[in-house]
Amino acid sequence: MYRNHIYTGSRDRTIRVWDIRTYECLQVIGIPEALANDRMHRAHPNPNNAQPDFTEGTQVKLNLPGEPVPAIYHTPRIYHDASILCMQLDDEIAITGSSDNTLIIWDIKTWQPLKRLEHHSAGVLDVAFDKEKIVSCSKDSTLCIWDRATGNLLQKVDSHRGPVNAVQLRGQLVISASGEGCARLWNVGYERRFNPYNGQYEATADTKLVKEFWSHERGLACIEFSDDGKYVLAGGNDMMIFKYDALTGTEFPRMTGHKALVRSLYLDEASGRIISGSYDSSIRVWDLHTGEQTMCFPAWTTSWMLSAKSDYRRIVCTSQDSRALILDFGYGVEDAELLES
């Protein structure tokens, strides 16, 4: 970790790597047509994506047609040939899920693909993993448990009745949010045993349902687990954020305020802040303990908020208007660079 990068995945079938300090695009990984698409987009900007006047940051330095291909464009051996819907990374690998029904494991340093995971029959909507296992959820209303070491499919869980939009993992506990309006807590039961017959370690998963958390009446789009697994946060088409006690299943007062579907949730437990992005194109900040809204950033993008993440000084969110937005609370603060890891 600690490379000071921002990674975005888009419907334009590319993954882009940005520098968090200079806001420069460092890498474009994806389809071979990425450069051509970018040039086309540059030459004929989409009139629907009107850029606000206060736009800052830098743009990709694009060469004119006929000039050599910039080094930042990179088409790997295997790549997603559809929208990149989800991404998760740690200090070794990154895993992306796509509408082409597959997941790809990448080496985070070189962005070379390591393995493609193929089993889902619909778009992979979310992915979560730790040192042992990978959990992916799909529009085909299934969860798949994979072994991280080998990439083998360990178990397929298909008890959801709707598309599984989000998944989160804490140790052996997995929580998944479905379009049917139900969040389910699972115990994965991952085990790794030595097989004396072939002399190899074999992983097994025995997933059992622990608890169900139901939304108000509509589907859930996003789910978040607190670090200690004590709270479950969920948001969806009810335009509110639900908070449940993971042990007892009791529901805390709902956080209302969004005017449209809550598309993404992120919990920064160190500061007790919940970041939510919504289809009303606003980013809202909530207090984890009181459930009150502390901040609202409406209309900073021209379209839906699709994803939002945060750390101690910034919110990074992405929008349907093909942009990523950094809300930097440490901009211009003296000595703020000392805090960087």
Partner 1 sequence: MHYIDDITSTPPLHGDITNETTHNTRFSQRFATRHRSALLERFGSAPSSTTSATSNTLPDQQRPRTLSNTLKRNADTAAPRRSSRRSRALQRENPASQSFSSTSVNSTTEGNDAPRLQRGFKKMRSMFLRASRDPTTPMVWQPIPSSHSDYASSSSSPPQNVVARPSSSSDSAHGAATVTPGAYLHVVPQHIQEQEYPAASIIATQPATIERSPSPFPDNASYLPPSMYAFEPPSGGSAARAAAASANSRKKVERKDSQTLVTPPMEDLYGRENRESGIVMSAEHSRVRGLRSRAQSQVKGMNPLEILPAEISAQIFGHLDAHSLAQVAQVARAWYSLTLDSHVWRQVFLKTWQAAERSNPLPLMVGGKGIGSQEGFDQSWAAMYRARKQINTNWSKGDAMAIYLNGHTDSVYCVQFDE
Site for partner 1 in 213-272 (CB under 8 A): 225, 227-229, 266, 269-271
CA dihedral 194, 131, 104, 114 (to 10 degrees): -70
20 binds partner 1 (CB under 8 A): yes
298 binds partner 1 (CB under 8 A): no
Residue 293 near partner 1 by CB under 8 A: no
Strands 282-287 and 273-278 come out as antiparallel
Contacts of 326 (CB under 8 A, 6+ apart): 6, 20, 23, 57, 314, 315, 316
Residue closer to partner 1 by CB (options 58, 121) is: 58
Of 80, 148, 243, 323, which one interacts with partner 1 (CB under 8 A)? 323
Q: Lay out the site mask for partner 1 across 60-99 (x = CB under 8 A, - = otherwise).
A: x----------------------xxxxxxxx---x-x---
- The CB-of-198 to partner 1 minimum distance in angstroms stands at 28
Instruction: Pick the binder of partner 1 from 59, 110, 152, 256 (CB under 8 A).
Output: 59
**Rounded to whole angstroms, how far apart are CA atoms 106 and 74?**
13
Residue pair 75/30 in contact by the 8 Å Cβ criterion:
yes
CA separation, residue 167 to residues 72, 173, 183, 223, 233 (Å): 32, 11, 9, 7, 12
Q: Residue 55 or 198: which CB sits closer to partner 1?
A: 55
- The closest of 156, 155, 148 to 201, measured between CA atoms, is 148
Give whichever of 183 and 275 is closer to partner 1, judged by the CB atom: 275
Q: Give yes or no for residue 7 binding partner 1 (CB under 8 A).
A: yes
The CB-of-184 to partner 1 minimum distance in angstroms stands at 19
d(CA 152, CA 318): 32
Q: In angstroms, rounded to a whole number, what is the distance separating the alpha carbons of residues 65 and 36?
A: 9
Residues 139-178 that bind partner 1 (CB under 8 A): 170-171
144 beta partners = 136, 156
Q: Is 274 in the site for partner 1 (CB under 8 A)?
A: no
Per DSSP bridges, beta strands 14-19 and 220-225 are unpaired
**How many residues sit close enough to partner 1 to count as binding (CB under 8 A)?**
98
Out of 41, 115, 119, 216, the only residue in the binding site for partner 1 (CB under 8 A) is: 41
Q: Interface with partner 1 includes 110 (CB under 8 A)?
A: no
Contact with partner 1 (CB under 8 A) among 73, 214, 252, 300: 300
Q: Assess 6 for contact with partner 1 (CB under 8 A).
A: yes
